[in-house]
Amino acid sequence: VLVILAFVDAGPPPSAMAGGCENTAINTWPVAGGGNGHRYQAVCPPDFVTWDEASANATSAGGYLVTIMSAEENAFVFDLADAITLWDPRPADCWTPGPLIGAYEPDGTQEPDGGWLWVTGDPLAYENWADGEPNNHEGNDENRVLFGSAGCAPALNPAPVWHDIGLDDAAPSYI
């Protein structure tokens, strides 16, 4: 699972090789370059993780799952995640799930597109859903978010778009 953490005043987590990919270096989005000064890292745990597990891992490392407040930040974060080893290509399913990000839908909100928040409690002022998302695919309660492929052509095409997933769905990385 790819996890990119935005560290707030915490030391960096140890670099590790896990799950077929390597954690990225910690990258700062510089204020001088139009960024917010936050630090980010794509994380590859030894096994796929659910959103809740990734969020707990990020918190225990002194950070939190990434929050994305603009198209520019989405592009910056996606550039960190644009390595196929951080994704799980599934050509037979016509879909490629990627890193988990810090958006979720609290219990009791209007399905499928109501009440989405960031782990920081901020509402999603910026959104970059893939076409048809969020959708509660096949009637499933999907209330967590990851980067996913843009569609079937080609299926192995990681894209900077978001997909909703279920509470028990696991991913190869997180940010």
CB 164 within 8 A of CB 146: no
Q: φ and ψ at 28, to 5 degrees?
A: -100, 135
At 142 the pLDDT is: 79
Phi, psi (5° rounding) for residue 142? Answer: -110, 115
Write out the H or E segment, with its range, that includes residue 57: helix 51-60
Is the N-terminal amide bond of 112 cis, ω within 30° of 0? yes
Judged against a pLDDT cut of 70, whether residue 116 lies above it is answered with yes
Residue corresponding to tokens 């509470």: 167
SS3 assignment, position 33 = helix
Predicted pLDDT at 13 = 35
Does residue 12 or residue 25 have the better pLDDT? 25
- Calculate the CA 145 to chain-centre distance: 6
Residue whose pair of structure tokens reads 């993780």 in the numeric block? 49
Confidence band (pLDDT; 50, 70, 90) for 16? very low
Query: pLDDT band at 20, cuts 50/70/90?
Result: low
Alpha carbons 104 and 52: distance in angstroms, whole number: 10
Assess whether pLDDT exceeds 70 at residue 123. Answer: yes
Give me the residue label for tokens 């009637």. 139
Q: What is the pTM of this model?
A: 0.84
Q: How far apart are CA 115 and CA 97, in angstroms?
A: 23
Is the per-residue pLDDT at 105 higher than 80? Answer: yes
